[in-house]
Amino acid sequence: PRRVRVHHLREAKSAGRQLTMLTAYDGPTARIFDAAGVDMLLVGDSIGDNMLGHATTIPVTVDELVVATRSVARATSRAMVVADLPFGSYEASPAQAHATAVRMLKEAGAHAVKFEGGRRVAPQVELLTGAGIPVVGHLGFTPQSENMLGGKRIQGRGHDAAERLKEDALALQDAGAVAIVLEMIPAPVAAAITEILSVPTIGIGAGPQCDGQVLVWTDMAGMGDWSPRFSRRFGEVGKALHDAAASFVSEVQSGAFPTAEHSYDS
Ligand code: KIV
Ligand code: NA
């Protein structure tokens, strides 16, 4: 299948075709999501709280995301692979962002990078775009700033906050962003931002009127016990995996596995 590229994102928006994005952190899951037709795979810094045992995304390192991105990129043939730039790897300057993003493309095989923030990171978006690196923006609740934002809270409530979000979105678009993730903002605010932008918005907890939707795959698949309110459990993969492992344990213990058909003759 043809690789999803940046011009397909704008085409999808013009055609009113919803874009789909899931996180992926390793090859086996990425291969499954790619075959299922997911347009974009995000190697998110949510690997920190979903896979690596951290409480937040803050401790995630560039090296960790390079390894994860490499395994995802090698397993896909259609999806656009987007690598997050982790906390501390892009905020200080456009040059810092460029150095990190180059690693994601050269060492890991990403097709685009994503990082958090509005006007404050527009210079980063502009430099990377000029250097041939597609950038996805990320506005609203931005987990890397949770220490400033006072925890996991809805952003953009009230007229002034909504206006600031719009200006941030326009600044990212003007700087060259190819798409913008909107996280945990009121649905009407996300709809208004989607309306004024020519590049697609991809929502998570941002209502149905975005140009696409993204979910953390473990929430989407029902991998853990809990999924956030804005997510839906499209499967019960955690239970399926538990049952498979429990069957393995009981069949080994009972002697039902392995049998002659799983064994080699001398
Ligand atoms: O890291 C992540 O999973 C994300 C999505 C929530 C957009 O940034
Ligand atoms: Na992220």
Residue type, 160: D
Question: How far apart, in whole angstroms, are the C-alpha atoms of residue 78 and residue 125?
Answer: 25
Of the chain, the percentage scoring pLDDT greater than 70 comes to: 100
Residue type, 165: L
Query: pLDDT of 58-100, one tens digit each?
Result: 999 999 999 999 999 999 999 999 999 999 999 999 999 999 9
The answer for residues whose C-beta is within 8 angstroms of residue 250's C-beta and 6 or more apart is 256
Whether the bond into 188 is cis, omega within 30 of 0: no
| Annotated binding residue 266 | no
Sign, CA dihedral 194-5-97-109, equals positive
Query: pLDDT of 151-179, one tens digit each?
Result: 999 999 999 999 999 999 999 999 999 99
**Ligand 1 binding site (Cβ under 6 Å of any ligand atom):** 23, 42, 44-46, 84, 138, 181, 183, 204, 214, 216
Say which residue, 226 or 34, is predicted with more confidence.
34
**Is the ipTM of this structure higher than 0.95?**
yes
**How high is the pLDDT of residue 20?**
98
| Catalytic site includes residue 91 | no
| Boundaries of every domain in the chain | 6-235, 238-266
Nearest CA to ligand 1 atom 8: 44
Class of domain 6-235: alpha beta
The answer for residues whose C-beta is within 8 angstroms of residue 66's C-beta and 6 or more apart is 103, 104, 107, 108
Question: How far apart, in whole angstroms, are the C-alpha atoms of residue 4 and residue 51?
Answer: 26
| Annotated binding residue 46 | yes
Rounded (5°) CA angle 213-166-192: 60
CB 57 within 8 A of CB 49: yes
Ligand nearest to the CA of 141: 1
